[in-house]
Amino acid sequence: MAEAEQHSVLVLNSKGGAGKTTVATNLASLLALRASVLLADLDPQGSSSHWWRRRPPQLPAISLVSDPQRKFRDYPPAQWFILDAPAGLKRSRLEEMLDEVSTLLVPITASAFDMDASLVFLERLQEIKRFRKGRVRIGIVANRVHQGTRAKQALEAFLRDLDLPVIAFLRDSQIYVHAAAAGVGIADLRASETRSELPQWTRVLQFLGEVDRGT
C-alpha cells in the first residue's frame, strides 16, 4: 500500500500578534478530520503547545512536537505538517524553515504597523532563492477583519498592491478566543457557531488542495 503524500505548511509573519497560532491551530483541527496531522510548535512562547495540552482527548487526534530550536529532526510521520513559527526570524533561520516546507501562509491584520512590517517581511522573502524560484507557494490570510470599516478597506487596498494570492478573510470574532481557551479549533465547534467562519476556512483548504473547488 502506497504511503500517503506528505504536505508541509509554515504559518509565519515576522511581526508578533498577526495571528499565526490562531491560523495554525484552527487549520490543524480542520485537517485532522480527514488526515493525520502534526502540529510543530517552533515558537519559544509555546502557544500552540499550550493549546494542544488543553485539547479534549475525544476530539480528532493531532500530534504535537515542540521544537523551538528548529532542528527539524525526529518528527513523527503525518500526512500534514503544520509549523507555527515565531516572529522576528533572522534570515538564516528563515531559509532553514523554507527548506522544510512546500507552502507558506502569512496572516496579516488591518493594523498599519502590521501591514508595514509585513511588507518588509515579504520583501525579505524575495531575496531567498527557494522562495524566489517558486518552490514554496504563498497564501495571504487577512486576519481579525472588521467588516464595513475603514481598516478593512485599507487592508484590502494593501493586499491588492501586493499582487499575491489572498486566500481568506477571517473575521475578528470571539469564537477564536473561546476556541483557543478550550483547546479546540473551528472544526470542533457546533455548526451554528461556525456558520459564518467556515466559508473562509474552506477557501484555505481549497488553496491547500484539500477540498475541491466545486465543494
Q: What is the CATH number of the domain that holds 49?
A: 3.40.50.300
pLDDT at 212: 53
Is the alpha carbon torsion for 77, 80, 83, 84 positive or negative? negative
Other beta carbons less than 10 A from residue 212's beta carbon: 8
pLDDT at 16: 86
pLDDT at 2: 37
Q: Which parts of the chain fold into alpha helices (H)?
A: 20-31, 47-54, 91-99, 112-125, 129-132, 150-162, 174-182, 191-194, 198-207
pLDDT at 215: 43
pLDDT at 90: 86
Residue 213 in any domain: the answer is: no
pLDDT at 213: 53
Look up the domain containing 97 and give its range. 7-207
Residue 118 in any domain: the answer is: yes
- Per residue of the chain (215 residues), what is the pLDDT tens digit? 234 678 999 999 988 888 999 999 999 999 999 999 999 999 999 999 999 999 999 999 999 999 999 999 889 999 999 999 998 888 888 999 999 999 999 999 999 999 999 999 999 998 898 888 889 999 999 999 988 889 999 999 999 998 899 999 999 999 999 999 999 999 999 999 999 999 999 999 999 997 655 44
- Is-contact 121 86, C-beta < 8 A? no
Residue 214 in any domain: the answer is: no
Query: Which amino acid is it at 192?
Result: S
Strand partners, 195: none
Residue 156 in any domain: the answer is: yes
pTM (2 d.p.)? 0.93
pLDDT at 4: 61
Residue 160 in any domain: the answer is: yes
pLDDT at 1: 29
Residue 18 in any domain: the answer is: yes
Domain tally, the chain: 1
pLDDT at 210: 75
Q: Nine-digit cell at 127?
A: 531575496
Residue 111 in any domain: the answer is: yes
- Is-contact 205 30, C-beta < 8 A? yes
Residue 215 in any domain: the answer is: no
